Structure 1
Amino acid sequence: MNLQGKKIILGICGSIAAYKSAELCRLFVKSGAEVKVIMTTSAGDFISPLTLSTLSGYEVFTSVHDGSNWSGHVELGLWADVLVIAPITANTIAHFANGLCDTMLDAVYLSAKCTVLFAPAMDLDMWIHPSTKSNVEKLISFGNVLIPVEHGELASGLVGFGRMAEPAHILDFVIAHFNKHLDLSGKNILITAGPTHEKLDPVRFIGNSSTGKMGLALVRECLERGASVELVLGPVTEKIFTHPNLSVTNIMSADDMMKACAVHFQNADIAIMAAAVADYRPITEESQKIKKSDDEISLKLVKTTDIAASLGAIKQPGQVLVGFALETENELEYAEKKRIKKNFDLIILNSMNDKGAGIGTSTNKVTIIGSEGIILATQLLPKSEIAKIIVDETIKHI
């Protein structure tokens, strides 16, 4: 009875995977949830509303009105503790991402005040198409939660990603959604994100292309789990959300970040060093703009303070320190050396050899390494999903 008393709206779209929704509905009800089902018109081509009505014990909604009676989509959106769409098709994903509303499910989605979990189902080529990827990323940016597709045999006969998660896996995901809000309650977390800019003169700097997306995804995930977060943020263009448990310190240089981290680390239960900090800075900063004169110019650089290593050296028993390594060669060897040198409990390895991973992307593919070696390696996923995985592994070290 892990979902006892929870109110779930189960949305079903027109996919061959809709047949699995009957089992999912049954599992929700068996776990103690109250379930109301909304089906798109095309979903009825794959599974009968009568089946879902029998399993849920409620009328199944298929339209905003039937010609004489109006279905209260606003009331439904307010009623639910969670809206689960399984399966969701590429078409409905596009509707949600762009605010289109011509089905009952669209209307409830746009009215819902609860968390929305969506489990895609489509063929391989559709799943990896740039249009689908863009729409999925938009949904995630709205705060909706992706239930990752699974690898397996698809309706077309192809084998690959695009298969809807199995009902038992979706049940576990929904249970974890309700439980996860408790697992970081009362914890203070320090997160660094974004690049640093090391000034050459008033208008020029040495920096990198970090967008801060990975760090911000980690911030959002920790906040959703009940933590209080101190974010030390380099110069980024990403829009920063507000939250009552979020405090942001904006910095420019590695020295600025070091000073802010030194203040906040002493009260942190967990520190996640996701920023891309410059390794070197100009030894002098010119007070006036450097004029273009000679064909060549020489810059003398000096190492910046190693923030992560500095925190690792003063880490107290009970504190958890997580770092990142972005490598282009000998990835595992270099990451492990960095983990040991900086006293990390975990190090998150990105490889620049993995297309779509690392700095400046909305997706990532990581290998998580601890004192026992490789803990897990992910596939290419949205950074919000990578953040969930990283936080899950970090919690195990508290």
Structure 2
Amino acid sequence: MFPKLWFLGAGGVMRNLNGKRIVVGITGGIAAYKTIEFIRLLRKSNAEVRVVLTAAAAEFVTPLTLQAISGNPVAQSLLDPQAELAMGHIELAKWADAIIIAPASADFIARFTVGMANDLLSTVCLASAAPIFLAPAMNQQMFSQAVTRQNLKSLAERGVKLIGPNSGFQACGDVGAGRMSEPAEIYAALCEALFLRQDLLGIKVAITAGPTREAIDPVRYISNHSSGKMGFAIAQAFADRGAEVTLISGPVNLAAPDKVNRINVVSARQMWQQSMKSAVENHIFIGCAAVADYRVAEVSEQKIKKTDDNDELTLNLIKNPDIIADVAHLTENRPFVVGFAAETQNVEQYAKDKLQRKNLDLICANDVVGGSVFGAEQNTLHLFWQNGEKVLPTDTKKALAKSLVQEIIELYRK
């Protein structure tokens, strides 16, 4: 479950960060020279590193040095047309698994606190769903100012992780708090945050995702527009926190999430069979799939031919099993049950009705008018549970999945 550890001299350890994509932001300050060693540690542990350099930071460390150490071109300008063609600010923000600013100057901290996006680094931070880490570095008097302490407190309350600072002798000759943490300390804090949030170890989760296909004949079927992206993102978010995840997927064009047991199905009845088996073996069951409500009563063994004298074709449809309701009404080994409601009108009313009628613990509703959800990269969810509700605002499905997992876990643990 945990990555391989390597010794890092003098009692430290180095983790294998293979596959982790780290954006390192460098702001203006004499401590910027230390960041070169921090990047070296990241590269030695097989992380992919992209460096974002502010104009002031370029006065202390050169882009050429950072390019050589990181193995990638250094990004500097928000308005660089060549950067926009390849790794622009939005692409860089989506690319990152983590963003760490070292050193983080008092100026950057102040601008980040109020949400400014007037340079590349602040824009990347504002546009990213990745965890953000700050390693503050400044004169001890600047650090002790009430406004600086309030800015850091505000950022911490918003989920930004703070590393340091240390106390000691400073370049200006002062002694006190404000020295940037040492590269090995920053590296260790980053690794701990990336790998030790395995708070869902022992939790088993089953998730359905994607559409189902109901055959008409050997070449035709009834289906819907579901891409499976939301369900796959939820599966990955649970797995990232250490949960044991079973993903029951209809036919989609998506790669299996990392560390997730994927079971492929086609029809609603196949999904029902796998769901009923998995439900009693898991603590949480999430019905995110867009399951066909009806299927053809009699599937033709041969392709149905079009004839010149028949302008209409009548199909006799019968109901499919109601997967989420059947799981929610289990009397033995019933899991915590989460349903989804994709509606085109009266979203809140229909969602609340479905919550009660199907005996769900939580329902996640969204408005799919105009096809704005199916296949899209973003979503918005309105959560309803007994005596409670919450809106998860529009965001990428990956980011939304992380927020949803947290809400599910909090309700489950109650």
Give the structure-2-normalised TM-score.
Answer: 0.63
2: CA distance between counterparts of 1:193 and 1:75? 39
Q: 1:104 aligns with which of 56, 61, 66?
A: 66
Aligned residues of 1:152 and 1:161 also touching (Cα < 8 A): no
Q: Which amino acid aligns with 1:379?
A: P
1: CA distance between counterparts of 2:329 and 2:344? 27
Matched, 1:190 2:215: no
1: CA distance between counterparts of 2:291 and 2:378? 20
**Structure 2 counterparts to residues 300-311 of structure 1, below 5 A:** 300-311=316-327
**Structure 2 counterparts to residues 51-70 of structure 1, below 5 A:** 51-52=31-32, 59-61=34-36
2: CA distance between counterparts of 1:209 and 1:102? 48
2: CA distance between counterparts of 1:238 and 1:84? 26
Counterpart in the other structure of 1:387: 401
Change (3 A) 1:103 1:312: farther
| Pairs aligned (count) | 310
Aligned residues of 1:151 and 1:162 also touching (Cα < 8 A): no
Counterpart in the other structure of 2:150: none
CA deviations on 1:174-228 (whole Å, 9 max, x unpaired) are 78655531x2101111111110000000010000111111111111111111111
**Structure 2 counterparts to residues 112-261 of structure 1, below 5 A:** 135=91, 139=95, 144=97, 152=115, 154-155=117-118, 163=126, 167-168=155-156, 169-171=159-161, 177-181=194-198, 183-243=199-259, 246-261=260-275
2: CA distance between counterparts of 1:87 and 1:271? 41
**Structure 2 counterparts to residues 335-350 of structure 1, below 5 A:** 335-350=351-366
Q: Which has the larger radius of gyration?
A: 2
1: CA distance between counterparts of 2:397 and 2:160? 20
Change (3 A) 1:88 1:296: farther
SS at 2:339's partner residue?
strand
Aligned residues of 2:92 and 2:124 also touching (Cα < 8 A): no
1: CA distance between counterparts of 2:377 and 2:31? 39
How far off is 1:86 after superposition? Answer: 9.4
Q: Which amino acid aligns with 2:293?
A: D
Counterpart in the other structure of 1:368: 383
2: CA distance between counterparts of 1:202 and 1:151? 59
1: CA distance between counterparts of 2:211 and 2:397? 17
Change (3 A) 1:349 1:167: same
Counterpart in the other structure of 1:77: 43
Matched, 1:268 2:282: yes
SS at 1:277's partner residue?
coil
2: CA distance between counterparts of 1:251 and 1:305? 15
SS at 2:254's partner residue?
coil
Change (3 A) 1:354 1:301: closer
How far off is 1:255 after superposition? Answer: 0.4
Q: Which amino acid aligns with 2:35?
A: V
1: CA distance between counterparts of 2:334 and 2:194? 26
CA deviations on 1:323-372 (whole Å, 9 max, x unpaired) are 1111111111111111111221111111124885x221121111121112
Counterpart in the other structure of 1:359: 374
Counterpart in the other structure of 2:174: none
Counterpart in the other structure of 1:23: none
How far off is 1:6 after superposition? Answer: 9.2
Q: Percent identical across equivalent pairs? A: 30
Counterpart in the other structure of 2:328: 312
Aligned residues of 1:193 and 1:234 also touching (Cα < 8 A): yes
How far off is 1:60 after superposition? Answer: 3.0
Counterpart in the other structure of 1:331: 347
How far off is 1:229 after superposition? Answer: 1.3
Change (3 A) 1:308 1:346: same
How far off is 1:250 after superposition? Answer: 1.0
SS at 1:365's partner residue?
strand
1: CA distance between counterparts of 2:404 and 2:52? 26
